[in-house]
Amino acid sequence: MILLVDSLGSTVVFSFTASLGRAVDGCAMQEMITTCNPGKVIVFGGDGFCGWPTALHLSELGHQVIIVDNLSRRAIDIELGVESLTPIRSIGERINTWSALTGKEIKFHNIDISTEFAELLELLMTEKPDTVVHFAEQRAAPYSMKSAKHKSYTVRNNLCGTNNLLSAIVESGLDIHVAHLGTMGVYGYGTAGMALPEGYLNVYLKTDEGEMVEQEILYPTNPGSIYHLTKSQDALMFQFYNKNDKLRITDLHQGIVWGTQTAQTSRDERLINRFDYDGDYGTVLNRFLMQATVGYPLTVHGSGGQTRAFININDTVKCIELAVNNPPALNDGVQIFNQMAESYRLIDLAKMIADRTGCQISHVPNPRNEADENDLIVKNDKFKGLGWEPSSLADGLLQEVEEITKRYSSRCDISKIPCESTWTAKHSPGRPSMKVDAAE
């Protein structure tokens, strides 16, 4: 098979072997046939919100899936005194249920990839995966800004985890494609009037002789939290390991994920995906829909003029499938895709939900250090070039979330809704000023 899209958006030809499902150059082909175990994917962070549905989706497609997770996300729920709105089952029950329903095995390893290098390396050497999907990071911006301790944990966990994974692959000597989940947030939310390109920017520099030379650089990052800072630094690690060790890497700059269930997780209640609504981990659209269900005014931070990129969880798993099936060729640079469907201003989202449900909107202080208004136009041509058709909010997917929030509304603890974590001591938590009584 021949593909005509490369990581930089220009047109080149990739050879693509049907049996291995990965792009190779001619001389590497024979070596790969003998060393690869086709279709084997390790999902790091596979117990999480994006990782669990991805693991099931890839398993359904016939990949041999192994989940690695240190269950730190579940421990953070205990630390914060919150629970997923949906009653997620233990990882053991999840995997056993999937196996009983489908006959497909998913292995699980409890490894902290930021500290347990030897175990990580041994796993890679034993399993020899074709691809690793890397979700295993502390992913909440508000959590990363809670205190010096949380900043330090986020930096340690995310940067050591990513470095360990990359250096373990080098140490293993195996040719393993890394598909990493980064975030649109690394770009900051100002775009100087241009559409955000997919990772790279062509610039013209004036030499000392006055000549203009063209260079391609990483799009400058402008992280808005410690969490986003770790994702910006991940991007530099990818450039280094790609240059130095020729690792094949795809970095997916994902928008805010919304929705809960996929075709696989909705098959049985024991497979249900997690749904975070609290002020640290809840993502904005899911939070708004949940707030509307329990009669809590939609907490819009400041004016709500902030524009964000969004993607539904069903599209997340499709995009990962495409990334797994389309690794960069052996000597290619880091492949960067923008994994988002559409952008919305937060106030427009709130109004859309208020119109559907009759709920109130409350403009609360913005706990984040960010501009009150921004534009965000994003290119997502690379996934579309691979055949992806993004779904939009208008496609009826909101209903799925509304059904979930209604079914489990009795599990909601409304005291956990406001964003209490502030970016600086001068900022205030995003609490509504009025007393709120949740609906029955």
Ligand X SMILES: NC(=O)c1ccc[n+]([C@@H]2O[C@H](COP(=O)([O-])OP(=O)(O)OC[C@H]3O[C@@H](n4cnc5c(N)ncnc54)[C@H](O)[C@@H]3O)[C@@H](O)[C@H]2O)c1
DSSP secondary structure, 220-285, as one string: PP--SSHHHHHHHHHHHHHHHHHHHH---EEEEEE-EEE----TTGGGSGGGPPP---STTT--HH
Considering the complex, what minimum distance in angstroms separates the CB of residue 69 from ligand X? 5
Listed residue (20, 15, 24, 56) closest to 330, CA to CA = 24
**Are the CB atoms for 22 and 324 separated by under 8 Å?**
no
Q: How far apart are CA 178 and CA 35, in angstroms?
A: 17
* Catalytic-residue membership of 183: yes
Q: Which of 22, 73, 228, 308 binds ligand X (CB under 6 A)?
A: 73
Q: How far apart are CA 355 and CA 100, in angstroms?
A: 43
Q: How far apart are CA 24 and CA 172, in angstroms?
A: 19
* Catalytic-residue membership of 231: yes
Does the footprint of ligand X cover residue 157 (CB under 6 A)?
yes
Q: Is 192 exposed, middle or buried (0-12, 13-18, 19+ CB in 10 A)?
A: exposed
Q: Is 98 exposed, middle or buried (0-12, 13-18, 19+ CB in 10 A)?
A: buried
Q: Which of 58, 174, 181, 398 binds ligand X (CB under 6 A)?
A: 181
Site for ligand X in 204-263 (CB under 6 A): 254, 256-257
Does the footprint of ligand X cover residue 47 (CB under 6 A)?
yes
Q: Return the SS3 of 352.
A: helix
> Which stretch in 77-85, 99-107, 134-142, 196-204 sits in contact with ligand X by CB under 6 A?
134-142
* Closer to ligand X by Cβ: residue 21 or 45: 45
3-state secondary structure 87-140: CCCCHHHHHHHHHHHHCCCEEEECCCCCCCHHHHHHHHHHHCCCEEEECCCCCC
Site for ligand X in 77-116 (CB under 6 A): 112-114
Does the footprint of ligand X cover residue 187 (CB under 6 A)?
no
Longest dimension (CA), the chain: 73
Site for ligand X in 159-178 (CB under 6 A): 161
Q: How far apart are CA 67 and CA 305, in angstroms?
A: 39
* Closer to ligand X by Cβ: residue 53 or 432: 53
* Closer to ligand X by Cβ: residue 92 or 193: 92
**Any residues with CB less than 8 A from the CB of 115 and at least 6 apart, and which?**
160
Listed residue (57, 49, 231, 64) closest to 131, CA to CA = 64
Q: Which of 146, 151, 231, 382 is catalytic?
A: 231
Considering the complex, what minimum distance in angstroms separates the CB of residue 416 from ligand X? 16
Does the footprint of ligand X cover residue 139 (CB under 6 A)?
yes
Tokens at 376, concatenated: 């965000």
* Catalytic-residue membership of 260: no
Whose structure tokens read 């979330």?
401
Q: Which of 227, 277, 344, 408 is catalytic?
A: 227
* Closer to ligand X by Cβ: residue 47 or 83: 47
Q: Which of 54, 86, 183, 250 is catalytic?
A: 183
**Residue facing ligand X at closest CB distance:** 48
> Which stretch in 64-72, 208-216, 261-269, 381-389 sits in contact with ligand X by CB under 6 A?
64-72
* Closer to ligand X by Cβ: residue 242 or 316: 316
Q: Which of 64, 86, 144, 183 binds ligand X (CB under 6 A)?
A: 183
Q: How far apart are CA 394 and CA 357, in angstroms?
A: 15
Q: Which of 21, 24, 32, 45 binds ligand X (CB under 6 A)?
A: 45
Considering the complex, what minimum distance in angstroms separates the CB of residue 68 from ligand X? 6
Site for ligand X in 255-314 (CB under 6 A): 256-257, 283
Does the footprint of ligand X cover residue 383 (CB under 6 A)?
no
> Which stretch in 65-73, 79-87, 207-215, 323-331 sits in contact with ligand X by CB under 6 A?
65-73
Q: How many residues bind ligand X (CB under 6 A)?
A: 27
Considering the complex, what minimum distance in angstroms separates the CB of residue 82 from ligand X? 13
Residues that bind ligand X (CB under 6 A): 45, 47-51, 69-73, 112-114, 135-139, 157, 161, 181, 183, 254, 256-257, 283
The catalytic site residues sit at: 183, 227, 231
